[in-house]
A and B are shown apart, each in its own frame.
Chain A
């Protein structure tokens, strides 16, 4: 399958390792990955903060960049949620209904692409660490990921999976929320960190680097014992990597 990778703007800039891991997993599974270099962003930050016209401009660009892709894989639940939940309505205003309607079903979040589209849970990874998982709100409530990421993790050799308590609680990131309401966000973050540390896991993973950056940023500040790693990086790991 020819898979078009939408890396997302912040993964591109801040977490290139996640993108490399996605490429590694998909190629290992025998697929071809393309990267359309004109791509930028899904428009989520603008949309969620109330900057609608800007978001529409970015959506138009996304549609122009990917309309003819076979499938688009995105290592970020929140960007997929943006596209699935909001593009159809925005498209009406932009007169792009047909294009968006055709494109949306071809867009997948990375882990759901593996389990649902490719029907795979064992991606041939080895990761000899104890791991807990933060399910981001978008993965949980918009993508309805259920236990798909956990199934992938449990198939990884050497990985010791530890359940996160109160896993349906938001970590407090919420994009500009973490800045506009920094104190409340910090209070939410402390609860999340407490939960992560209570598992004793070495690694906290997830399908959204935004949440992981938030939790991880708190953990390093506190010199916590756990670090945050995107699920793609775990699934890419092979014997000898660690």
Chain B
């Protein structure tokens, strides 16, 4: 089986990658600025919603219900979609999914496909597979276009090029689009993308999209976007292929009323994103003549099997947890070595990819809880991080020094007499503290003076052990 989450299996460990990125002051400034902006906007439009917590609760319950009955909802979706003229495919893993896409495009003798931002296709590395088959994938989302033209990696799940500022983007566009002149305003850059892609939208016969939600009841698929590139991709081509993870199902059409309120406010701090497209199968005289859906597993059923962490699959990819995360704020997304970065990446990548590939990710958090606070579907990310740490420790994945330190500490703390003895040792010198790896700490911080007397000693001497 080839479960794949982009190139995460080959990625450097988090501390190593982070250390390098921390040197990049421009990138860090860009990330800080962008996340500050979005956090401010989000806070404003969330605060004006008196029923925000009720919406979060409903969303969490809907997602729970979905997962609890996922098999029947998938079958229900398949049936409804097929009845409306869609064709449903199932893909166990990345290679199987890519092969289905390539097969459909080749059966129409096409060499090009226009794509709207799809995390699952980054997961399966679809573009790579398409290129290998001689098919050119064109990313049409502005940020994805920046990444594709700049030969870069996404660093954020909603705004993949968040680490780039406008002058860097301008540079990439001028070079890659062959423009001699280009204004400096964001409007000019957006205009350049419009001109660059317009001809492709009108020409290319195959479109590819993901889905934010898929409705079991009606077989409908929903894509949430801003630029209109999504509408172009799902409307203009003759053939449309839509791929999404099996967890993207919601039971009923009415459930959309919950998510379409939570998502834009959480993701971009807007009351509503400019466009939502919802379509059901094929509509004669309007849009594609052929519609394929690919339901992707690629590790999701493994996540589903772990009761303690299955709520990871509730995620609606709004990135609010990234924007709120003080760790992400410092490093940006590349440190996570995966297309899924930030707090959600720290729990999702190891579970999808297999824990052995990403044992440092669950530790890439101070457990401050900012992610949980903003998550629109109330995923308790800190709890899941701790759960994954436990799994790493139980499978022997922790460093020997750490295991020994923890064992000694556990033994010491199980008895106040032993604790007293250890405290004496600490007072005699700093050795025991340094021994568990405090050099990293001491590079930038002093350790406190070790007091001559512990509290319990003081109590005993001043209160006579009363």
Question: Which residues of chain A have a CB within 8 Å of any CB of chain B?
Answer: 7, 9, 11-17, 19-20, 34-35, 37-41, 43, 45-52, 54, 57-58, 61, 137-138, 140-142, 168-170, 172-189, 213-214, 216-218, 220-221
Contact = CB atoms under 8 A, between A and B. Distances in A.
Contacts of B465: 37
A177 B389 CA distance: 12
Contacts of A49: 389, 393, 402, 406
A177 B346 CA distance: 14
Given A170-B368, A180-B440, A187-B22, 4 more contacts: A172-B326, A178-B366, A182-B443, A213-B448
Contact of A46 (B365, B406, B456): B406
Contact of A217 (B389, B402, B448): B448
Contact of A14 (B370, B388, B407, B448): B448
A37 B18 contact: no
B455 A7 contact: yes
Contacts of A221: 444-446
A58 B416 contact: no
B272 interface: no
24 contacts: A13-B450, A14-B448, A15-B451, A17-B451, A20-B455, A35-B463, A45-B406, A45-B409, A47-B386, A49-B393, A50-B393, A50-B394, A54-B410, A141-B369, A142-B369, A170-B326, A179-B440, A179-B441, A181-B18, A188-B326, A188-B366, A216-B448, A217-B446, A221-B446
Interface residues of B, number: 67
A20 B412 CA distance: 24
Across the A-B interface, the 8 shortest Cβ-Cβ residue pairs: A174-B366, A182-B440, A50-B389, A217-B445, A54-B410, A170-B368, A137-B368, A16-B455
Nearest to B18: A184
A50 B392 contact: yes
A184 B454 contact: no
B107 to A, nearest CB: 48
Contacts of A168: 370
Contacts of B463: 35
B414 A40 contact: yes
Contacts of A170: 326, 366, 368, 370
B94 to A, nearest CB: 29
Interface in B359-393: 360, 362-370, 372-373, 386, 388-393
B389 A7 contact: no
A183 B331 CA distance: 10
Interface string B412-435: 111110010001001000000000
B26 interface: no
Nearest to A47: B386
B406 A173 contact: no
Interface in B13-40: 14-15, 18-19, 22
Contacts of A45: 406, 409
A16 B448 contact: no
B460 interface: yes
A184 to B, nearest CB: 5
Q: Which secondary structure dominates chain A's binding surface?
A: helix
B196 interface: no
B442 to A, nearest CB: 9
A61 B419 CA distance: 13
A179 B413 contact: no
Given A40-B415, A182-B441, A48 B367 contact: yes
B138 to A, nearest CB: 36
Given A181-B18, A184-B331, A137 B366 contact: yes
Nearest to B465: A37
B458 A184 contact: no
B132 interface: no
B226 interface: no
Contact of A48 (B389, B423, B450): B389
B447 A217 contact: yes
A173 B407 CA distance: 22
A56 to B, nearest CB: 10
B189 to A, nearest CB: 30
Given A186-B444, A187-B330, A174 B365 contact: yes
B438 interface: yes
A176 B363 contact: yes
B14 A181 contact: yes
Interface of B: 14-15, 18-19, 22, 326-327, 330-331, 360, 362-370, 372-373, 386, 388-394, 398, 402, 406-407, 409-410, 412-416, 419, 423, 426, 436-438, 440-441, 443-448, 450-451, 453-460, 463, 465-466
Contact of A141 (B18, B372, B389): B372
A179 B368 contact: no
A137 B445 contact: no
Q: B360, B402, B410, B444 — which one has the most chain A CB atoms within 10 A of its CB?
A: B444
A55 B306 CA distance: 21
B166 to A, nearest CB: 24
B455 A185 contact: no
Contact of B18 (A9, A173, A179, A183): A183
Contacts of B373: 141
A49 B209 CA distance: 39
Contacts of A214: 445
A233 to B, nearest CB: 13
B419 A40 contact: yes
A177 B365 contact: yes
B366 A177 contact: yes
B440 A40 contact: no
A240 B401 CA distance: 48
A229 to B, nearest CB: 12
Contacts of A176: 363, 402
Nearest to A182: B440
B15 A183 contact: yes
A177 B447 contact: no
Q: A182, A216, A220 — which one has the most chain B CB atoms within 10 A of its CB?
A: A182
A37 B437 contact: no
Contacts of A9: 413, 419
Contacts of A172: 326, 366
Q: A40, A168, A183 — which one has the most chain B CB atoms within 10 A of its CB?
A: A183
Nearest to B388: A50
Contacts of A38: 416
Contacts of A52: 390, 393-394
Contacts of B364: 181, 184
